[in-house]
Amino acid sequence: MSVNQSIKPITLEEKEHIYIGGCDTVGLAKKYGTPLYVIDEATLRGICQDYKKAFKNYTNIKMMYASKALCTSAIAKILASEDFGFDTVSAGEIYTVFKAGADMSKVLFNGNNKTRREIELALDYKVGRFSVDNFYEAELLNKIAAEKGIKAEILLRITPGIECHTHDYIQTGQIDSKFGFDLTQVDEIITLIQEKYTNLVLRGLHAHIGSQIFETQCYYDEVEILVKEISRIKEKFGLVLDEMNIGGGLGVKYTDSDNPPEVEALASVVTDAMHKYAVEIPTIYIEPGRSIISTSGVTLYTVGSSKQVSNGRKYVAVDGGMADNPRPSMYQAEYTAQVANKPTSENLEKVTIAGRFCESGDILINEIELPKLESGDILCVYNTGAYNYSMASNYNRVEKPAMVLVNNSHSDIIVYRETLDDLISKDNIPDRLR
């Protein structure tokens, strides 16, 4: 079983309290406060090893971590030490991995509306590849590269017309998408690159079919489409493309009902399709994000108030919610949780875990069976490493939580908790209002 198939971090132990990475989570809550993001280093490195082992027989493989899932300096440092490159989508992500000491030749700059400032920064930092998303961007990138007297190496992002069975908000491979060129536009952009955009060097194709994917057939279909398109381009334009980025998207296990495929299954499908359809085996880029970081993360909350609705559900409120984890309110994401200070206690009641923010939709978990909850209990919500901190906000002017890294019974702050002064640090009162 690969790490993405587990709800809990691989180091978790149930003693008198829940321990992760050898650290007492109740002790972590007391020391650092709550809400608190906790990342288990062993779990993170474990899934990296799963990916490298699964693709070990495919020699031309480049692992690229999808930074949007969680991008902090320490996380980037760990991924770089595991020989992962980085899929980035903003100046902020590029700057973060650069300052963390990443090899910038292993960085891809992705996104559907890159600004001039971001493109200039990416070129100055010598990112290895640009994934060109549209005609406007191709023209702009060529212009800026020409101004700097350099050539930008690119992949073309295409929409292969594949729809996966996942939430509409995280599907990206279908034709009706804001991302990429559809297959009818490929010839036009290649002609422009060959005849006009001479500061662009086309190296391959890029597609991303979605996120939280539980089936492998769609990856097989994606590889088939990309390989056939590369072959067609060679025949029509005499252009040899030797790189193919198949994106990421492998699912993880949030609840007992989830059954994502293991990494080995993904690797098997991809390599089988490649060996069947490719005449010359290209370099494959793969961009896991959620499946790399999600399982390693938990969020700790302190239980506060409760409310019993007459002849209805019981609400139990915690000191966080939609600002530190917007996924349930955005697209009804589901989570599993335990009481960190009562891990072996019998589940006695069904409750709804509510957040502390002023929105009726601020519900973290609908109807979960837990031991009887009391004010001051510590709730441990699993699989929160991906898209929690990275999508967090200051809604209701609440400070963003801290993040700690645990390993071998040791904990380190990797993101400091915001302060009230941090919240107003960018505010300004004009002189006329003073």
Lateral strand order in the sheet of 18-20: 13-14, 18-20, 23-24
Asked if residue 158 belongs to a domain, the reply is yes
Q: Vertex 20, ends 16 and 22: CA angle to 5°? A: 80
**Pick from 252, 268, 292: which residue ends a domain?**
292
Is residue 433, in this structure, part of any structural domain at all?
no
Regarding whether 286 and 154 lie in a shared domain, the answer is yes
Range of the domain at 302: 3-11+13-21+28-37+294-424
- Residue where a domain terminates, one of 267, 292, 317: 292
Output the domain CATH number for residue 304.
2.40.37.10
Asked if 243 and 136 sit in the same domain, the reply is: yes
For 374-401, what is the mean pLDDT? 98
- The tokens for 91 are 């100046």
State whether 287 and 304 are in the same domain. Answer: no
Same structural domain for residues 328 and 416? yes
CATH of the domain at 137: 3.20.20.10
CA distance 39 to 75: 9
Per DSSP, 418 falls in state P
Is 250 exposed, middle or buried (CB count within 10 Å of its CB: 0-12, 13-18, 19+)? buried
The answer to whether residue 434 is domain-embedded is: no
Q: Let me know if residue 432 belongs to a domain.
A: no
Per the structure block, which two tokens stand in for 381? 């919500």
Which residue is listed with tokens 């200051």? Answer: 394
Q: Are 232 and 186 in contact (CB under 8 A)?
A: no
Flag whether pLDDT at 343 surpasses 60: yes
Residues 366, 391, single domain; the answer is yes
Catalytic residue among 23, 164, 358, 380: 358
Same domain, 311 and 338: yes
Residue 160 has pLDDT above 90, yes or no: no
In a domain, 70, yes or no: yes
First to last CA, the chain: 63
Q: pTM higher than 0.85 for the full model? A: yes
pLDDT at 276: 87
- Per-chain mean pLDDT for the chain: 94
Please say if the pLDDT value at position 173 is more than 50.
no
| pLDDT value at 331 more than 50 | yes
Span 63-122, pLDDT tens digits? 999 999 999 999 999 999 999 999 999 999 999 999 999 999 999 999 999 999 999 999
Question: What is the Cα–Cα distance from 296 to 233, expressed in whole angstroms?
Answer: 41
Closest CA to 37 of 393, 324, 424, 370: 324
Identify whether residues 356 and 299 lie together within a single domain.
yes
Which two structure tokens, joined as six digits, stand for 106?
């292993």
How many Å apart are CA 160 and CA 141, to the nearest integer?
A: 23
Q: Is 23 a catalytic residue?
A: no
Distance between CA atoms of 151 and 144, rounded to whole angstroms? 10
3-state DSSP percent of the chain in helix, strand and coil, to 5:
35, 25, 40
350 part of a folded domain: yes
Report the pLDDT averaged over residues 356-367: 96
pLDDT tens column, 33-43: 999 999 999 99
Q: Is the pLDDT of residue 175 over 80?
A: no
pLDDT of residue 172 exceeding 50, the answer is no
Number of domains in the chain: 2
What is the average pLDDT across 186-207? 97
